[in-house]
């Protein structure tokens, strides 16, 4: 019978013995403890009394659900007991300083896609860990390449931890009998040749020419430019899409579009795009804004948004290539991403 190491034993496995890695492991274990508690609350659903809205709004102006507040409290309490100098949470406007002498900074989306909970669809916690720089707060404004680890917990049919650490991506499943995460997949690799795309197609009329071109080519199927039939998926839950891509390959797009508030996309750089990009790259996939590698981008504000294209490296390259050949549609402060030259396809 295959021996499946528990998360703790796996993390202790001596790859390197630096104080930074020890601190990183402590943060991952603290988050895992909180995720186990959160997964129990989520699994109980209405039985745990955690349904409905809290009455508050998050820094983006979205109405917070009670479960968002509970998730944020659980995760930030866990981080307070770990070697963390500061945390950026989706639910809090400004970075919070915890222990200024600690060696790590964490950005976290405590419960991504919480609106899906009412529909019993997988949702998750996304986290990004980076070494503290000279100045605590400016650590968050370094590029995504500064991350030393990242991951996501997925609360779905199984509770799963996808962990990018030591340049590798491993997967752990929560064993409900023991209450422990155990290693269930080692060194995940994103399949490269899956003709499958994921995009919220209801926004088509708002997309730029590049995105329309790419999706139209996929839809044209075997007789079109791409020469093959494509399948489409859209879950509307980033962690579930990322997990599917890790398992099956394909490409996910949440592009910038012409709607008010979407000119830089929807997803947040620090606690959504950066960590998901690290997972993709360390699993042999890719992540791009269409013009730039996500990991090379730096946030200008804690909750900055970014267009995100991620998945199989070849598919992400194909989308990038279209961005180079088709003129951008609309303007934003983030030129040349949206420099206006007005070609509409």
> What does the binding site for ligand FBP look like in residue numbers (CB under 6 A)?
62, 112-113, 200, 236-238, 254, 266
Torsion of CA 89, 90, 93, 95, to 10 degrees: 20
Q: How far is the CB of 142 from ligand FBP (least distance, A)?
A: 22
Instruction: Name the minimum Å distance from CB 133 to ligand FBP.
Output: 26
Return d(Cα 201, Cα 215) in angstroms, integer: 9
Work out how close the CB of 240 gets to ligand FBP at its nearest, in angstroms, rounded to a whole number: 8
Going by the annotation, the residues of the binding site for Mg(2+) are 90, 109, 111-112, 272
3-state secondary structure of 98: coil
Smaller CB separation from ligand FBP, 112 or 320: 112
**Which of 150, 155, 115 lies closest to 287, judged by CA?**
150
Q: Measured from the CB atom, is 113 or 249 closer to ligand FBP? A: 113
Give me 84's structure tokens.
Answer: 């963390």
Query: Considering beta carbons, is residue 62 or 318 the nearer one to ligand FBP?
Result: 62
User: Cβ closer to ligand FBP: 266 or 323?
Assistant: 266
Residue 129: count other Cβ atoms within 10 Å of its Cβ: 27
Asked if 25 and 12 count as a contact pair (C-beta separation under 8 A), the reply is: yes
| Cβ distance to ligand FBP smaller for residue 78 or 310 | 310
Beta bridge partners of 152: 126, 162
11 vs 278, which CB is nearer to ligand FBP? 278
Which residue has the closest beta carbon to ligand FBP? 238
In contact, 238 and 112? CB cutoff 8 Å = yes
3-state DSSP: the chain helix, strand, coil percent, rounded to 5?
Answer: 35, 25, 40
**Known binding residues for substrate:** 200
Min CB(140)–ligand FBP separation in Å:
17
How far is residue 254's CA from residue 117's CA, in Å, rounded to a whole number?
A: 21
To the nearest whole angstrom, how small is the minimum distance from the Cβ of residue 237 to ligand FBP?
Answer: 5
The torsion angle over the Cα atoms of residues 291, 294, 299 and 302, rounded to 10 degrees, is 130
The vertex-94 CA angle with 92 and 96, nearest 5°, equals 85
Q: Name the residue with tokens 């030259």.
A: 341
Nearest distance from C-beta of residue 167 to ligand FBP, angstroms: 26
Q: Which residues are annotated as a binding site?
A: 90, 109, 111-112, 200, 272
Nearest distance in Å: CB 238, ligand FBP: 3
Residue 296's CB: how many other CB atoms inside 10 A?
12
Return d(Cα 213, Cα 321) in angstroms, integer.
11
How far apart CA 62 and CA 51 sit, in angstroms, is: 16
Cβ-based nearer residue to ligand FBP, 62 or 166: 62
Measured in degrees and rounded to the nearest 5, phi and psi for residue 309 equal -125, 120
């Amino acid at each position: 019978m295959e021996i499946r190491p528990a998360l703790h034993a796996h993390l202790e496995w001596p790859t390197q013995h630096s104080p930074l890695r020890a601190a990183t492991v402590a943060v991952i274990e603290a988050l895992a403890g909180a995720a186990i508690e959160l997964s129990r609350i989520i699994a109980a659903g209405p039985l745990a009394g955690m349904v409905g809205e809290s009455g508050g709004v998050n820094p983006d102006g979205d109405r917070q659900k009670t479960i968002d507040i509970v998730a944020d409290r659980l995760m930030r309490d866990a981080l307070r007991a770990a070697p963390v100098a500061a945390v950026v949470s989706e639910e809090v406007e400004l970075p919070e300083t915890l222990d200024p002498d600690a060696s790590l900074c964490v950005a976290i989306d405590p419960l991504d896609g919480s609106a899906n909970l009412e529909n019993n669809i997988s949702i998750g916690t996304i986290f990004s860990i980076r070494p503290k720089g000279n100045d605590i707060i400016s650590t968050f404004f370094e590029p995504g390449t500064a991350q030393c680890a990242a991951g996501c917990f997925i609360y779905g049919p199984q509770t799963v931890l996808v962990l990018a650490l030591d340049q590798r991506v491993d997967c752990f499943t929560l064993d409900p009998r023991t209450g422990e995460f155990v290693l269930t997949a080692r060194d995940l690799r994103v399949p490269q040749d899956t003709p499958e795309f994921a995009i919220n197609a209801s926004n088509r009329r708002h997309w730029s020419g590049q995105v329309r071109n790419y999706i139209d080519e996929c839809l044209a199927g075997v007789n079109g430019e791409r020469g093959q039939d494509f399948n489409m998926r859209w879950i509307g839950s980033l962690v579930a899409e990322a997990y599917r891509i890790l398992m099956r390959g394909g490409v996910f797009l949440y592009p910038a579009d012409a709607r008010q508030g979407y000119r830089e996309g929807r997803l947040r750089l620090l606690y959504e795009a950066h960590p998901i990009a690290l997972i993709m790259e360390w699993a042999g996939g890719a992540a791009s804004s269409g013009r730039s590698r996500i990991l090379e981008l730096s946030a200008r504000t804690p909750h900055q948004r970014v267009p995100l294209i991620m998945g199989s490296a070849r598919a992400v390259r194909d989308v990038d290539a279209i961005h180079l050949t088709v003129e951008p549609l609309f303007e934003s402060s983030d030129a040349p991403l949206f420099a206006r030259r007005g070609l509409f396809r």
